[in-house]
Amino acid sequence: MDWISAIVQGTLLGGLYALFAAGLSLIFGVMRLVNIAHGDLIVLAAYMGLSTTVMLGIHPFVALLIVAPAMAGIGYVLQRGILNRTLGDDILPPLLVTFGLSVILQNALLEAYSADPQKMNAGVIETASVPVGGLTLGVLPLLTFAIAVAVIAGLQFIFYRTSLGRAFRATSDNSDIAQLMGLNKAHVFGMAMALALAVTAIAGILLGVRTSFDPSVGGARLIFGFEAVIIGGLGNLWGTLAGGVILGVAQTLGAKIDPGWQLLAGHIAFLVVLAVRPQGLFPRVAH
């Protein structure tokens, strides 16, 4: 029963990892950009949530109503102000610029909030649990997983059922021809980053409610999100959820063997997938 419990806990943890990954996957899909600062942006969202809850005395989930639009705005400005200028055939500029951004964000957060670990207080929901078939599951992990499924379904809907999603796909296919249709590439990319960082806001708030965080934890969040994307297969959002779940289960099973093995087990699962199925488990079917 212990093992089943670990697998279920890992699955629910995978929801959080899928949320880390969804934004990463989205911007790669639209503009082939890999944002090294993604993890630090998740942490930034967590701190913004913290400040909002403390200053306004509101619940972290309510704070999302402020943090998500704020992160979206930051994303749009960041994309149009800086990142659009790095896009091109050369992969170095976007990589190095987002890397620089990562270092700036980390140190700016350090300056503003110090290195002390912080946590958001979500009240009774943190400790509440429900019995499910002999297992006791935390309400918060269940809610996190449900939110992850909803977010991915929402992104899927935006991508395939709205004119914004159509613009994303067209610009990703061929940005020159998309411009001939009257689509402003810079704006479309700005919207994609805004959407990605709105998702990041959700991930950051859930992270900050679940565990304590400090300015240095962004790198690991980037890596978890990245592993979920690669395990699931590039360009497939539901695959990313599956990738997150596999990573989460590997980590909880590893921790079950030895607490020191939690992260290592996740990385090993990723490397095994890379070795036997480098295109990921569920790659997008090419048209």
Partner 1 sequence: MTARISRTSRSAQVAMVIAALGLIVLAAAPWWAGRADLRLLGEIYLYLSLAMLWNLMAGYAGLVSVGQQAYVGFGGYMLFALTMFAGLHPILAILAGGVLAALLSVPIAALIFRLKGAYFAIGTWVMAEVFRLSFAQASSLGGGSGSSLPVDVVKSFAASRSGREALSYWLALGAAVVVIACVYLFLRSNRGLALTAIRDSEVAAAGLGINIWRTKLEVYVVTSAFTAIIGGLIFLQKLRISPDAAFSVNDWTAFVIFIVVIGGIGTLEGPIIGTILFFLLRETLADLGTTYLIVLGLVAIGIMLKAPKGVWGLIRSRFDLELFPLSYRVKSDNSDKGA
Partner 2 sequence: MPKPVLSLHKLDAHYGDFQALFGVDMDIAAGEVVAIIGANGAGKTTLLRSIAGLLKNQAAQVTYQGDAIGALRADLVAHKGIALVPEGRQLFPSLSVEENLQIGAHTGRAGPWSLDKVYGLFPILKERKDQASTTLSGGQQQMVAIGRALMANPDVILFDEISLGLAPVIIKSIYDVLPNIVGDGMTALIVEQDISKALSVSSRVYCLQEGRVSLTGATNTISRDDITRAYFGVGA
Which parts of this chain interact with partner 1 (CB under 8 A)? 33-34, 36, 82, 85-86, 91-97, 99-101, 103-104, 106-108, 110-111, 219-220, 222-223, 226-227, 230, 260-261, 263-264, 267-268, 270-271, 274-275, 278
Among 24, 31, 178, 202, the residue binding partner 2 under the rule CB under 8 A is 178
B/e letters for 187-212, b = 16+ CB within 10 Å, e = fewer, are: ebbbbbbbbbbbbbbbbbbbbbbbee
Structure tokens at 218: 């962004």
DSSP lists the bridge partners of residue 132 as 135
Contact 47, 108 (CB under 8 A): no
Do 47 and 109 form a contact (C-beta atoms < 8 A)?
A: yes
Asked if 246 contacts 231 with a C-beta cutoff of 8 angstroms, the reply is yes
Q: Which does 189 bind (CB under 5 to 8 A by kind): partner 2, partner 1, none?
A: none
Q: Supply the minimum distance, in Å, between the C-beta of residue 191 and partner 2.
A: 13
Binding of residue 156 to partner 2 (CB under 8 A)? no
| CB-nearer residue toward partner 1: 62 or 234 | 234
Q: Considering only 34-42, 181-189, 207-215, 245-253, which stretch makes contact with partner 2 by CB under 8 A?
A: 181-189
Nearest C-alpha neighbor of 255 from the set 20, 2, 1: 2
Alpha-carbon gap, residue 187 to 211, rounded angstroms: 35
Q: Which member of 57, 131, 133, 182 binds partner 2 (CB under 8 A)?
A: 182
Contact predicate 39/223, CB 8 Å: yes
- State which residue, 166 or 277, has the beta carbon closest to partner 2: 166
| # residues near partner 2 by CB under 8 A | 19
Nearer to partner 2, 88 or 259 (CB): 88
170 near partner 2, judged by CB under 8 A: yes
Q: Considering only residues 167, 207, 237, 253, which one is a binding residue for partner 2 as defined by CB under 8 A?
A: 167
Q: How far apart are CA 45 and CA 6, in angstroms?
A: 29
Select from partner 2, partner 1, none the partner in contact with residue 55, using the beta carbon and a kind-dependent cut-off of 5 to 8 Å: none
**Partners of 138 in beta bridges:** 129
DSSP 213: B
Task: Give the number of other CB atoms < 10 A from CB of residue 131.
Answer: 8
Binding test (CB under 8 A) with partner 2, winner from 65, 110, 146, 177: 177
Helices (H), 82-184: 92-113, 139-161, 163-173, 175-180
- Closest distance to partner 1 from the beta carbon of 254 (Å): 10
181 binds, among partner 1, partner 2, none (CB under 5 to 8 A by kind): partner 2
- Binding residues for partner 2 (CB under 8 A): 163, 166-167, 169-170, 172-174, 176-185, 287
